[in-house]
Amino acid sequence: MDKKTHRTGLEGYYAVDEKNRKLRYGYTTGSCAAAAAQAATRMLLTGEKVEEVALQTPKGILLHLLIEEISMDEGRVRCAVQKDGGDDPDVTTGIYVYANVSRRDAPQITLDGGIGVGRVTRPGLWQAVGEAAINKVPRQMILENVEQVCKEYHYTGGLDVQIEIPAGVELAKKTFNPRLGIEGGISVLGTSGIVIPMSETALVASLRLEMKMLVEGGGSYLVITPGNYGQAFSKEQTRLDLTYSMKCSNYVGETLDMARELGVKGILFISHIGKFVKVAGGIMNTHSRQADSRSELMAANAIRAGADLETAKEILDTITTEQSVEILKRKGYLEATMKEISDRVEFYLNKRAGEQLEVGTILFSNVYGKLAETSKVPELARKIMKQAEKKAHDQCADKEQKPNQQKNEEKKL
């Protein structure tokens, strides 16, 4: 099939930048790996070549991806999918992501990384030391697709699945992976399976539009999270009504500015400590390319909380805040350190927000749950719930009013 005429399933999906230009969606290395693994498994079990596969992404978009570089041997199949990041400035666009699938005696499906897929060498990441740097969602996508093919062909034996990205060896040198303790290649990434290209200006504009819609829909008090972790924690760990909620990505300062402009009365931020520990240093854009001082800020606030020099040095050697939290918990400084951090988060947010906007923050860890909250959280939570009750009451009143209006119209007729 000609690549130029091949339809991936992303036709019609565009982002719009600040110059009103359409930017094509793309798909992640995780989607490439899952599609290649699905195709290789199908070819291994049927003996027939597969040139295209359908892949359902977590985003809900069904992709149709071409299968290339096919190699079929006795008991093993290797094939690839070429990465297309759309119009996102992604250094991995154009590379080939390979899947090697082979039979094994034990009835088990294993997944590992080969050449060009990084290997974790330091603790603190999602994967254990020694494991391939294949993140949680791509790992799940790969295994689910392989298992689905096995189920389709009633195969109950074992399989070894290995993901390879030969170009990843050189690409890794352009990333932060070595600093994070990921060596030998790049990570297989993606939480939605889809790459949405947006310039910074366009992304902030889209956040403003979303906030404007919430305000026009009756939201004076908003629940805002930086990303997926905060959103998941908000749903699972709090009793807050999330009718008026949104994500702000890394743009904490811009979010406060647009909230003031749009007449929002209050914001309750719910954030993983890894994002908002930066706010404790006055950093209002939490992207790593803007600032990555997490361990330094954790160590500084631990010292303020009474931690000794050795504890601070241990924190400075961490690569994730979850590691820092574990050290503080073990040494008995966690609660006091989180109090120091939350106080400073509150100071800097209030400074940016001004007097007309109430701001509160809940900080959490994926391992230890809620870590701290700022002083205005209880009051903001009460106002958010009261706002939800009012909306529910208004909706009930509208439902009751419509039948009465209809009866009056019928009487007139």
Range of the domain at 80: 14-195
Residue 21 binned pLDDT confidence (cut-offs 50, 70, 90): confident
Q: What is the pLDDT of residue 231?
A: 84
Cα(235)–Cα(81) distance, rounded to whole angstroms? Answer: 35
User: How many domains are contained in the chain?
Assistant: 2
Question: Does some domain include residue 319?
Answer: yes
Q: What is the mean pLDDT of the chain?
A: 91
Dihedral in degrees, nearest 10, Cα atoms 90, 95, 96, 97: -40
Cα(138)–Cα(279) distance, rounded to whole angstroms? Answer: 30
Q: What is the pLDDT of residue 406?
A: 60
- pLDDT reading at 152 higher than 50: yes
Range name among 70-79, 195-204, 343-352 with the lowest pLDDT average: 195-204
Compare 233 and 256 and report the one with higher pLDDT: 256
Share of the chain above pLDDT 70, in %: 93
Kindly report the pTM of this predicted structure: 0.65
User: Could you tell me if 234 and 260 lie in one domain?
Assistant: yes
Q: What would the mean pLDDT of 294-302 be, rounded to a whole number? A: 97
Residue 153 binned pLDDT confidence (cut-offs 50, 70, 90): very high
User: Could you tell me if 206 and 189 lie in one domain?
Assistant: no
DSSP reduced 3-state for 116: strand
Compare 5 and 385 and report the one with higher pLDDT: 385
Asked if residues 187 and 119 have their Cβ atoms less than 8 Å apart, the reply is no
Highest-pLDDT range among 3-7, 12-16, 132-136, 187-191: 132-136
103-137: per-residue pLDDT in tens? Answer: 998 889 999 999 999 999 987 777 889 999 999 99
Q: What is the pLDDT of residue 310?
A: 97
User: Could you tell me if 34 and 133 lie in one domain?
Assistant: yes
- pLDDT reading at 235 higher than 90: no
Q: What would the mean pLDDT of 10-17 be, rounded to a whole number? A: 80
Residue 19 binned pLDDT confidence (cut-offs 50, 70, 90): low
Cα(299)–Cα(208) distance, rounded to whole angstroms? Answer: 35
User: Could you tell me if 313 and 174 lie in one domain?
Assistant: no
Cα(411)–Cα(413) distance, rounded to whole angstroms? Answer: 5
User: Could you tell me if 150 and 118 lie in one domain?
Assistant: yes
Question: Does some domain include residue 349?
Answer: yes
Strand ranges (DSSP E) for 175-217? 182-183, 185-186, 194-195
- pLDDT reading at 39 higher than 50: yes
User: Could you tell me if 170 and 286 lie in one domain?
Assistant: no
Q: What would the mean pLDDT of 35-46 be, rounded to a whole number? A: 98
Question: Does some domain include residue 354?
Answer: yes
Question: Does some domain include residue 409?
Answer: no
